[in-house]
Every structure is written in structure tokens, then in C-alpha cells.
A = this chain, B = another copy of it.
């Protein structure tokens, strides 16, 4: 059994990790840390898990991690992981970092949008954990930078089309809509029920930190610099993310070509479902799962492609993909612990 630690276990991504790992047949959860809840049983913070884990929340100590864990999930605010991950790696732990600290290859880009990086040398070694795209690198990685939720939802539909040069890379517009759990468990007016209920709004328009993350990966895949316009919105629901992408089609690209490109890339992927001519993606269909549903339409009159993806922001957008990464890093079957049948409603 793989011994796993979740650092920052009482945040939403951390708690979803606890759920997935507590049910993972080849993992034993051995350590949960939480600054706010040190000394409190995890199931007192999340009573739905009563009977499924009796772990106490502990304070974060690398010594304890060294003893107790083989794999470490850091579900901590960015800046904290960079201060402890080097030691974890040096002590031969496998690390899946859910913060932004190890998602960027270019330290300058990270520093332009976050802060000074204190573990720059590790950026080279870290692998971007978008499993369907960087699978082989992930298998041998010691450190994975788990992708952001918005980037996951935007990159999966775009990458095959970018790779196959089917779309105009200068014309990409990404309009994303996220459930409120994406804003985290911290108290804020943004997450106050009375502010969310009946409210739909955009935020951080053309100024969200996931914008450079999307661009960095698209550029890497394309072999050329790509810039996109990105607008996130907040939806009155707990979980789920729908991303609508607009892009010009390159000359002569047919609907069939788009479809075959997506099929070629994803038909065998266990966590991607394509449905070109039937129902379009709906967040309700992927809630609680590690699945990404992808659909598209072409607006022929304007020669534009509309790509639509749906994920659970806490699933494929965070904890689910983190476990998928762990499975790859540890040589397990990729779907282990992630194959629960989705709820019909």
C-alpha cells in the first residue's frame, strides 16, 4: 500500500483528496495537515466522512512527513509548497503539488503573476500534470505541478486542434464558468450564500492568473507563442466548470476534421468523453467525477469553432487529476480509485 499525506487537507481540494484517497484501494492515508484545525479530527470538519477516516489534523512538519508518507499531496496556498517541496523531493518523496508553484517552466512568468520563486531549480524537473498530454513524463516524474481547474478545462479541448494546426491560434477566446467551490473554503463575501444565490457575474476579466498558465502550455504544445483572452465567471452552484471557447477555423477545416482530431486524441482516454453530435457538455454530468466532457459546434457563417468542455472543478480540475497523476507516478492503473459510477442527478 502507498502511504499518502495530504497537506492542507481541510481546504476543498484537500478534502476531496481525502475522499478519493480514503476510497483508493492501493493507498493508505497516513497524514492530514491543517493549520486551522490542528488537533481536530478531520471528520469533525467534514462530518460526511465520519466512519471513513479517523485521522486527526496535524500541524505541518517535514519530519513527520518523511516518516509517514511515500506520496505527498500539497493542497496549500501557493508560496508554501515551494518552501517545503525541495526537502520532500530530496528525501525521495513523490509530490503532487496542487498550487501554482510548480506549474510553470519559465520562472519569470511565475514571478510576474505570483511572487519570487524560492525553488526555481526544481521548475525544470517538475512536470505539468495534464495527464492526457504529458502522460509519459508524468510516469517518471518525482514532482508534478497539478494543473489549475480553468487551464484543464480549456487545454483539453484546444490542444489536439492546436497540434493539428486546425485553428487560428491568434483568435482564441476562453469564456469559463465555475462553481463556487473554486473560490475555496475561506470566508469571503464572494462565497456568502446571499451573494451567490441569484448571482451570475464575471471576475478578474483578462486578469486571472490562470491566463498565463493556459498560454504557457498552449505555446509549449504549439511550438510558438500563443496569447488568449480569458474571462472567468462565477455560477451559483457548488461544483462544476463549463468552458466555452471561440476560435477561428483555419482554411478548409471541416467539421469532420475537427471531430476526427478529437477522436484521435481522446477516444481511448478513460476520463474524456466526446459527444460531437448529441448532447453538449453539462456540468451536472461530470459532478463528482474525474471526467472531462467535450463537445463542439461550428458557426459556418462566421467560420468560427465553438468548443465546450465540462469538468468538476474539484475533480478533474483538482483532486481527481492529482490522484490520476499519483497513479501514473506510482505505476498503478490510471483509473484506480477514480472509477466510481457518476450519480444520475
Copy number in the complex reads 4
A 189-226 to B, binary, CB cutoff 8 A, 1 in contact else 0? 10111111111111101110000000000000000000
Cross-chain contact B200 with A237 (CB below 8 angstroms): yes
Residue numbers in B under 8 Å from A302 (CB-CB)? 227-229
> Which residues of A125-141 have CB atoms within 8 Å of chain B's CB atoms?
none
Residue numbers in B under 8 Å from A207 (CB-CB)? 297
Tally of A interface residues using CB under 8 Å: 87
The one of B199, B285, B340 that contacts A283, using a Cβ cutoff of 8 Å: B199
A173 on interface, CB distance cutoff 8 Å: yes
Please, how many angstroms separate the alpha-carbon atoms of A343 and B202 in the complex? 21
A252 on interface, CB distance cutoff 8 Å: no
> Which residues of A320-345 have CB atoms within 8 Å of chain B's CB atoms?
340-345
A15 on interface, CB distance cutoff 8 Å: yes
Known: A48-B287, A197-B193, A198-B237. A205 touches B342 (CB 8 A): no
A114 on interface, CB distance cutoff 8 Å: no
User: CB within 8 Å of B: which residues of A?
Assistant: 12, 15-16, 18-20, 22-23, 44, 46-52, 173, 175, 177, 179-181, 185, 187-189, 191-203, 205-207, 227-229, 231, 233, 235-240, 242, 244, 246, 273, 275, 278-289, 291, 293, 297-299, 301-302, 304, 306, 308, 310, 340-345
